[in-house]
Structure 1
Amino acid sequence: MASWLPETLFEIVGQGPAPSKDYYQLLVTRSQLIFRWWRISLRNEYRSTKPGEAKETHEDFLENSHLQVQIALIFGAGILDYVFNLCQGKFDFLERLSDALLLSIISYLDLEDLARLAQTSRRFAKLCASDQLWERMVKSACGTITPDMKSLADKVGWRQMFFANKFQFLRQLHKQKQRQSTQGEKQV
């Protein structure tokens, strides 16, 4: 299953904590971890400093507490935990799926599970609130979508359309038709 993984598993860049102006890059590939840095300084003694690089195998990184501390200071403990898991072979395959595929999978969940999934990460929160998902949900609940329903959903949002009760929906459709007919009369 690991053969499905791309060569680059994770990459992040950032600036060191204040007062440092140095830049860092952390790259995790299938076989190694690469940590790069660029010194940014106005001091004469550091102006000619060349960029640095440390390459470690996953096994060596797991034992290198100095490099782990540097990564935690620069990128945070959450990134260190994530990288640590990658180096231990614990891959999050679900996070690597495309948005389109995840939307297809998510559309089969019930509302309670959707609410729980939205709380797990920013990516899932965005997907669970997306119009593409709620359009699928409305289509599966209604069967057929008329052009009037589609134009109303484009206006108010597919999620709002899903949660609107039938009476509200019919009232909104009626108002939309009235507006369209009055606009048509004004143009004539």
Structure 2
Amino acid sequence: MASLLTDTLFEARGQAPAPSKDFYQIIVSRKDVIFRWWKISLRSEFREARPGELSESHEDFLDDPNLQIQIAIIFGAGTLDHIFNLCRGNFDFLVRLPDALLLNIISYLDLEDIARLSQVSHRFEALCNSDKLWEMVVQNLMGRITPEMKSLADEMGWKQFFFTNKLQLQVQLSRRRQKKSDSAESLSD
């Protein structure tokens, strides 16, 4: 699982609350926490101010309340909690998994669980509503899919295909067959 961790575990940029116009960046790597700032001011005493950087080990960051307060003010308490977890070694490996692997895992969940998972985050909402997931779900449940069924599902969307009842699908498939035969007859005339 450690191979899923990149060198940069977290990065965020933000602007200080009004009236300040200063910009800030926080980077959490595997070894340290880097806090950068850029002073933006029309006041003459800050015009020559250079960007600054503070780099601390994870242990030092956990013992530095001043930096923690600054991060909470600029980036919010949720971001500070996330950084605490990273510095303590509590990594969320699920969000680091590639989409293809997550889709494969999700395709074996019950429908109620897929609906709940779609409410977890924007990423999971997109995955749970993707045509690729519903294509995998249909294939897992139905086994063999004819080219005609695949064509209809691609046209109407795999999720819609999954939730359409069998009778309606049979009617739509027979209509498609009829259209094809009508167009083939008109070409032969």
Matching of residue 28 in structure 1 with residue 28 in structure 2: yes
Asked if 1:40 is matched to 2:40, the reply is: yes
Q: Counterpart amino acid of 2:93?
A: F
How many equivalent residue pairs? Answer: 188
The TM-score, its normalising length taken from structure 1, stands at 0.89
CA RMSD of aligned residues (A): 2.0
Q: What are the equivalent positions in structure 2 for 1:75-86 lying under 5 Å apart?
A: 75-86=75-86
Given that 2:15 and 2:23 are in contact with CA atoms closer than 8 Å, whether structure 1 keeps it comes out as: yes
State how 1:57-76 maps to structure 2 within 5 Å: 57-76=57-76
DSSP 3-state at the match of 2:20 = coil
* 1:45-60 equivalent positions in 2, closer than 5 A: 45-60=45-60
Bigger mean CA deviation after superposition, 44-53 or 15-24: 15-24
Percent identity (aligned): 61
Aligned-partner Cα distance in 1 for 2:148–2:40: 59
| TM superposition shift of 1:187 | 7.0
Structure 1, unaligned runs of 5 or more: none
What's the counterpart of residue 12 of structure 2? 12
Residue in structure 2 matched with residue 95 of structure 1 by the alignment: 95
Q: Give unpaired runs (5+ residues) of structure 2.
A: none
Relative to structure 1, the CA distance from residue 49 to residue 149 in structure 2 (aligned partners, 3 Å threshold; closer, same or farther) is same
TM-score of the pair, normalised by structure 2: 0.89
What code does the residue aligned with 1:25 have? Answer: Q
For 2:62 and 2:81, how far apart are their aligned partners in 1?
Answer: 11
How far is the alpha carbon of 1:34 from its aligned partner? Answer: 0.3
Instruction: Report if aligned partners of 2:4, 2:93 keep a CA contact under 8 Å in 1.
Output: no
The residue number in structure 1 matching 2:148 is 148
Which 10-residue stretch deviates more, 44-53 or 132-141? 44-53
Aligned to 1:125: 125
For 2:148 and 2:60, the matched residues in 1 are separated by 62
User: Aligned AA for 1:137?
Assistant: V
SS at match of 1:49: coil
